Amino acid sequence: MTEIDARLREDVHQLGELLGHTISAQLGTAFLGKIERIRKGAKAARRGSAAGAEQLSTALDGLADDELLPVARAFNQFLNLANIAEQYHRVRRRGADEPEPFEARVLPDLLQRLRAGGHAPEALARQLGGLEIELVLTAHPTEVARRTLIQKYDAMSAQLAAQDHSDLSAAEREQVGQRLQRLIAEAWHTEEIRRSRPSPVDEAKWGFAVIEHSLWQAVPNFLRQADRALQAATGQRLPLEAAPIRFASWMGGDRDGNPNVTATVTREVLLLARWMAADLYLRDLEQLAAELSMQQASDELRARVGDSAEPYRSLLKQLRERLRATRAWAQDSLQGPVTPSAAVLQDNAALLEPLNLCYRSLHACGMGVIADGPLLDCLRRAVTFGLFLVRLDVRQDASRHTAALDEITDYLGLGRYAEWGEEARQGFLLAELDNRRPLLPTHFEPSAETAEVLATCREVAAAPAASLGSYVISMAGAPSDVLAVQLLLKEAGLQRPMRVVPLFETLADLDHAGPAIDRLLGLPGYRARLAGPQEVMIGYSDSAKDAGTTAAAWAQYRAQETLVQVCAGHGVELLLFHGRGGTVGRGGGPAHAAILSQPPGSVAGRFRTTEQGEMIRFKFGLPDVAEQNLNLYLAAVLEATLLPPPTPEPAWRELMDRLAADGVTAYRGVVREHPQFVEYFRQATPEQELGRLPLGSRPAKRRAGGVESLRAIPWIFAWTQTRLMLPAWLGWEYALCNALKRGEGELLGQMREHWPFFRTRIDMLEMVLAKADAAIARLYDERLVQSDLRRLGEHLRDLLSQAVAAVLGLTGQSQLLAHSPETLEFISVRNTYLDPLHLLQAELLARSRQRQDEADSPLEQALLVSVAGIAAGLRNTG
């Protein structure tokens, strides 16, 4: 097996050793010895040693109650330290003899390929500069680590970078070691688990912190790299106004099933974003004012500032005062409405104009080298983030709008909107949208729920257009769902177009997405209210929970194909918004491969996707890592636009239809139709306990009920903890085995070789199967599941082995991920620390269910720490 890079192994060893010193200092060498016996037993057991398995089991069984929590914390902390080392390894310094990582080469290589393929330099520059990629940061509750710990982990990564120099003196190296020891001690003595759930405003502040500490630095650096690559390939420069990647957020706007997100919260989050943006620009201006002390200036700049001895500082001082006024206004407005003074910046052009003027003047006076320093970085930030930092989306379930309109029509004596058919709804909504009079009298007194819907619409109407993204409608299924939101926004006083976006989530909704949008675009007057492209959101999480990933993936693909054709037929541009999660079961996977596997024509210079939970930290938490991921997004969207994948062959489509049909039958046969499934799920996984984990502000369930009532995140999260990973693969085993039985193996091989969509699905399936572990899942059954339900567990593990066999048969490998030995080694190393946590968690779950301890008891704390540790070790939660 390929060895992990020696430097990474050395970093992991160093961090582990320092953690050992910390544990020993607090709990003594005898306790550290127990940890080491557990670790060595797990390592030996993984290699097939019966003695090792016995040592592991005996050591864990011998733990006293007061030792459970520190043991769980020890293994949790080690897995987090391994993540830090691995993340830093991706961006570490490389010697002159080492190749650049793929993420750094991907854009330059692509541009050279495009030039060689005949794309003109000017057209390439125009296409790159005009890309519209938007990454939407969401507050889904999958970020297990507390923010205070994340900051300590980031500081540890910085120390790994500080020691990554061969010429450090012994004293310097010792100093770095002492800082690392101190940071690890700080982390060890900090509680891993929040005592209370974060509020939606807390979640938004966490999102702003990612921008402040990482993306604020990463974006201008990433754009510099793109500019250099473009110039090298084409001789063209990236325009100053180019912002190929921007950011939006659902934090404080996503009220679907979350009663804690109110109109008041949305208003507060919008104001906090303006405060943060102004504050960040003020920090930039402090630096610029210190550096731009030059006297020579263009006539254009002189005309603005007069005969100033320091013209650049004079102009920037004016902007600084306006930013201070903006920040103060945002701060005051948090207490209640305040009329902004004329000094408060309201339009991004007012922020950009003085910066651009300084930039042009410096270049005109032969000081381009100064202009292209921090001033250019500030300009790039102003174009990308603007005055509002991120554009806030609003999301609400379609049923809430239906209920509000039902109450309104009943009050007006028009009947019950909820009982009308689609044609009647459309007729009413279209007539009211064209009607100049208000729909509601001023004395209408709505119920609390309808009042909240109307209050949210008023906040949308009052907010500056540039501060908002889209209004997303969950569980949309018909044109009336879109028209209903447009009418409610009109009634709230919105006088500008806003993108109202249907989200098609279930299998049936995805199948009907194309016809629904076709009817919508054909409605009289709708096109006049359309702001830019028609945006449609594709749901990955709920469609996979509804039908399994086999059928869901194919339904998502076909829905996109149909939507491309429908919008082209109406002469309307299409923007597809991908509601992807961090895990395979929720549409997750490597972004670059996922984008290149979309249907041809679906990525036409535009791409919008969610970035969820812990994936935000893993992909954007450190500036260097963020730059790599931004490079991947930029290159993938450019390639998918200019070099789209081939249209699938008819035979591929027919086979995919059969795979999807078999997949949904097998998936629903277990999840929906097996009479013991729900009870088994609740006994075999920590699903019930996850509801007590204070991860996010949103409840784990939309409503009371079984699996169907669960949100996609705890559904995935629970199976991940036990390593069965069921939602990510269930259905594939039956679909692939049937295809192989029918003699379609050669056709499957062709699809995998020549069709990016199918290849990417199989690659993601292989990755999740490599992380699955039937032996671990069996341990949970043996400790937690009553005897009459265990046969179902055996059956599911048998299906898992069938899925593994089918993938190995398709790929021709003797073991999963044989083509990626380093990844296999990563998983192997982590298993040494994950195995004790799994065993410990199963025991803790059993004790917790017997005792019903208080939420803050040591046993409950240990259980929640084990959940966090397993999530960290697998780099996946929901």
Q: 3-state SS string over 712-740?
A: HHHHHHHHHHCCCCHHHHCCHHHHHHHHH
Query: Do 360 and 404 fall into the same domain?
Result: no
Q: Is the pLDDT of residue 147 over 80?
A: no
* CA–CA gap between residue 584 and residue 763 (Å, rounded): 10
Report residue 473 as tokens: 């409608």
Final residue belonging to a domain, choices 522, 554, 575: 575
pLDDT of 318: 96
**Residues annotated as part of the active site:** 140, 545
pLDDT of 588: 41
Tens digit of pLDDT for each residue in 625-648?
999 999 999 999 999 999 999 999
Q: Is the pLDDT of residue 852 over 80?
A: no
Q: Is the pLDDT of residue 257 over 90?
A: no
Residue 508 counted as domain residue: yes
* CA–CA gap between residue 466 and residue 528 (Å, rounded): 20
Residue 250 counted as domain residue: no
Q: Is the pLDDT of residue 210 over 60?
A: yes
Query: Do 664 and 810 fall into the same domain?
Result: yes
| pLDDT band at residue 150 under the 50/70/90 scheme | confident
Query: Do 442 and 556 fall into the same domain?
Result: yes
Query: Do 681 and 803 fall into the same domain?
Result: yes
Residue 586 counted as domain residue: no
Q: Which of 95-104, 360-369, 603-612, 709-718 has the lowest mean pLDDT?
A: 709-718
| pLDDT band at residue 2 under the 50/70/90 scheme | very low
Query: Do 381 and 494 fall into the same domain?
Result: no
* CA–CA gap between residue 720 and residue 716 (Å, rounded): 6
Q: Which amino acid is at 388?
A: F
Mean pLDDT for 19-25 is 96
| pLDDT band at residue 489 under the 50/70/90 scheme | very high
Judged by DSSP in three states, 812 sits in coil
Mean pLDDT for 120-130 is 95
Partners of 247 in the β-ladder: 135
Percentage of the residues of the chain whose pLDDT score is greater than 70: 94
Residue 525 counted as domain residue: yes
Report residue 309 as tokens: 């001895």
Percentage of the residues of the chain whose pLDDT score is greater than 90: 72
Mean pLDDT for 274-298 is 96
Domain, as residue range, for 536: 395-575
| pLDDT band at residue 149 under the 50/70/90 scheme | confident
Residue 590 counted as domain residue: no
- The Cα-based distances of 729 to 580, 733, 756 in angstroms read 17, 7, 19
Q: Is the pLDDT of residue 877 over 50?
A: no
SS3 for 189-216, per residue?
A: CCCCCCCCCCCHHHHHHHHHHHHHHHHH
Mean pLDDT for 454-474 is 97
SS3 for 545-608, per residue?
A: HHHCHHHHHHHHHHHHHHHHHHHHHHCCCEEEEEECCCCHHHCCCCHHHHHHCCCCCCCCCEEE
Look at 157 and 406; give whichever has higher pLDDT: 406
Query: Do 271 and 358 fall into the same domain?
Result: yes
Query: Do 794 and 723 fall into the same domain?
Result: yes
CATH of the domain at 302: 1.20.1440.90
Mean pLDDT for 101-129 is 94
* CA–CA gap between residue 514 and residue 530 (Å, rounded): 17
Query: Across all residues in the chain, what is the average pLDDT?
Result: 91
Query: Do 303 and 331 fall into the same domain?
Result: yes
Task: Please count the structural domains in the chain.
Answer: 3
Burial of 847-875, coded b for 16+ CB within 10 Å and e otherwise, reads bbeeeeeeeeebbbbbbbbbbbbbbbbbb
Residues 6+ apart with CB under 8 A from 413: none
pLDDT of 97: 74
Query: Do 424 and 557 fall into the same domain?
Result: yes
Query: Do 366 and 442 fall into the same domain?
Result: no
Q: Is the pLDDT of residue 99 over 90?
A: no
Residue 715 counted as domain residue: yes
> Hunting for tokens 């500490």 — which residue is that?
213
> Whole-prediction pTM value?
0.92
Final residue belonging to a domain, choices 354, 388, 422: 388
Residue 238 counted as domain residue: no
Query: Do 532 and 444 fall into the same domain?
Result: yes
Residue 43 counted as domain residue: no
Query: Do 380 and 401 fall into the same domain?
Result: no
Final residue belonging to a domain, choices 355, 388, 421: 388
| pLDDT band at residue 859 under the 50/70/90 scheme | confident
